[in-house]
């Protein structure tokens, strides 16, 4: 179905599309790269050439490899140039109507056997597929940012997807040296669903006045071994991007209070404090700016970590209970997609499900908020 000779189309030459094109070229494929913005694909190729050259200079890739990779990618002026592609991966703006329009147009160009994938982070793959006459050829291939470095790819079959297609995509992603996991087409798939409480619960702890942001970041790094604290990470991702993902997941989950976005983050977006990219977010990134130091109180730090990790584990156990993915895939997704120090289900074993349940029930009793309901899966464990 798909092999090393398959021709790959990539639509959208932004951060993700350019990265995916490079990954496919590194695996030896001929790649067509298209962007509706004039010259965007050519500019992306130019930027890629420069970064590959730097890698060559540092000895991270072989001499001449940059040119070889670039020569495999063609910036094409229209979708029509993708007529002999075997797989097309769409990575345009995260808007359902825009994606549906591209999918229905693409279907008039490519062969009947061409597979069409979307890199959507939070939209329904099933809804995107519905724009195609031959919807069984559509699937989600969700890469993580930066696509050239992050190993995880969530493979998401839509309701309509042909039965053999996920396995074929898993094999291809392995050939691309990625770590594929198959996830159900549900809001946020695996990573963007499970990770919500890392941000949401941390913001809630801040809103309650239990600790300030630097202290919460310190607690999760110190007691959890996370590489970055939630506020540091939200500033890196961009508060606008992070808020939109939360709001989308929450809306699609029929306003389940577990995924409820927070006013604190909304205010960040309204004031354009997007994070590192705008120079200010939860922290100030201006030159010479001094940010508050954390209160390194052991008891408080432990309390913060214990609460956030209980919420994260509860979410992972619930996803397992609802068969979003297998136990192995749920854990792989968090370690390979967002660099968690360990999988959440392995963490559950370590802390003990009984203790996690005790913490959840305590939170529920305290707040009387459905947000803290323990998963039936956790209770059964």
Question: Shortest Cβ distance from residue 23 to ligand NAD (Å)?
Answer: 13
Q: Of 173 and 360, which CB lies nearer to ligand NAD in the complex structure?
A: 173
Which one of the listed residues 119, 121, 122, 124 is annotated catalytic? 121
Q: Which residues of 9-38 are buried (b: 16+ CB within 10 A; e: fewer)?
A: bbbbbeebbbbbbbbbbbbebbbbbbbeee
Question: Shortest Cβ distance from residue 312 to ligand NAD (Å)?
Answer: 20
Question: Shortest Cβ distance from residue 123 to ligand NAD (Å)?
Answer: 7
Cα–Cα distance measured from residue 296 to residue 204, given in angstroms and rounded to the nearest whole number: 19
Return the DSSP state at 371. G
Distance from the first to the final alpha carbon of the chain = 41
Q: Give residue number: closest CB to ligand NAD.
A: 14
Quick check: is 142 catalytic?
yes
Q: Of 124 and 375, which CB lies nearer to ligand NAD in the complex structure?
A: 124
Q: Of 190 and 304, which CB lies nearer to ligand NAD in the complex structure?
A: 190
* DSSP assignments along 56-87, one per residue: HHTTSS-TTHHHHHHHHEEE-SSGGGGTT-SE
Which one of the listed residues 26, 29, 90, 142 is annotated catalytic? 142
Handedness of CA 41, 42, 47, 51 (dihedral sign): positive
Which one of the listed residues 192, 197, 262, 314 is annotated catalytic? 192
Q: Of 91 and 330, which CB lies nearer to ligand NAD in the complex structure?
A: 91
Which one of the listed residues 90, 107, 154, 232 is annotated catalytic? 154
Number of neighbouring beta carbons within 10 Å of residue 134 = 15
Quick check: is 192 catalytic?
yes
Question: Shortest Cβ distance from residue 277 to ligand NAD (Å)?
Answer: 11
Question: Shortest Cβ distance from residue 35 to ligand NAD (Å)?
Answer: 5
CA angle 186, 166, 101 (to 5 degrees): 65
Helix axes 196-207, 230-237, angle to 10 degrees: 120
Q: Of 126 and 215, which CB lies nearer to ligand NAD in the complex structure?
A: 126
Quick check: is 296 catalytic?
no
Q: Which residues bind ligand NAD (CB under 6 A)?
A: 11-17, 35-37, 40, 91-94, 98, 102, 119-121, 143-145
Quick check: is 362 catalytic?
no
- Positions marked catalytic: 121, 142, 154, 192
């Amino acid at each position: 179905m798909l092999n090393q000779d398959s021709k790959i189309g990539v639509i959208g030459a932004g951060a993700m599309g350019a990265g995916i094109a490079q990954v496919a070229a590194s695996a030896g494929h001929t790649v067509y790269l298209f962007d509706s913005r004039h010259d965007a694909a050519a500019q992306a190729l130019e930027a890629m050439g420069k970064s590959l050259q730097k890698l060559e200079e540092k000895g991270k890739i072989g001499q001449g490899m940059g040119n070889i990779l670039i020569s495999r990618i063609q910036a094409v002026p229209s979708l029509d140039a993708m007529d002999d592609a075997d797989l097309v991966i769409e990575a345009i703006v995260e808007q359902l109507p825009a994606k549906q329009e591209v999918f229905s147009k693409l279907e008039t160009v490519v062969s009947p056997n061409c597979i069409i994938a979307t890199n959507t982070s939070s939209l329904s793959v099933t809804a995107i597929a519905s724009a195609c006459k031959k919807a069984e050829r559509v699937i989600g291939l969700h890469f993580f940012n930066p696509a050239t470095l992050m190993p995880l790819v969530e493979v998401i079959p839509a309701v309509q997807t042909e039965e053999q297609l996920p396995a074929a995509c898993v094999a291809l992603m392995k050939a691309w040296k990625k770590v594929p996991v198959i996830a159900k087409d549900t809001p946020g798939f695996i990573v963007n669903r499970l990770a919500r409480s890392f941000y949401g619960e941390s913001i809630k702890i801040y809103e309650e006045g239990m600790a300030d942001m630097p202290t919460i970041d310190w607690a999760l790094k110190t007691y959890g071994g996370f590489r970055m604290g939630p506020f540091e990470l939200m500033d890196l991702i961009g508060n606008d991007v992070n808020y939109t993902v939360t709001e989308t997941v929450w809306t699609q989950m029929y306003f389940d209070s577990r995924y409820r976005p927070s006013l604190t983050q909304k205010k960040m977006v309204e004031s354009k404090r997007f994070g590192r990219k705008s120079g200010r977010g939860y922290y100030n990134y201006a030159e010479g700016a001094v940010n508050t130091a954390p209160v390194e109180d052991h008891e408080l730090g432990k309390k913060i970590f214990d609460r956030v990790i209980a919420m994260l584990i509860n979410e992972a156990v619930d996803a397992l209970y609802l068969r979003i993915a297998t136990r192995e895939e749920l854990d792989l997704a968090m370690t390979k997609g967002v660099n968690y120090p360990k999988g959440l289900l392995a963490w559950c074993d370590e802390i003990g499900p009984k203790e996690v349940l005790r913490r959840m029930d305590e939170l529920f009793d305290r707040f009387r908020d459905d947000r803290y309901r323990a998963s039936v899966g956790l209770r059964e464990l």
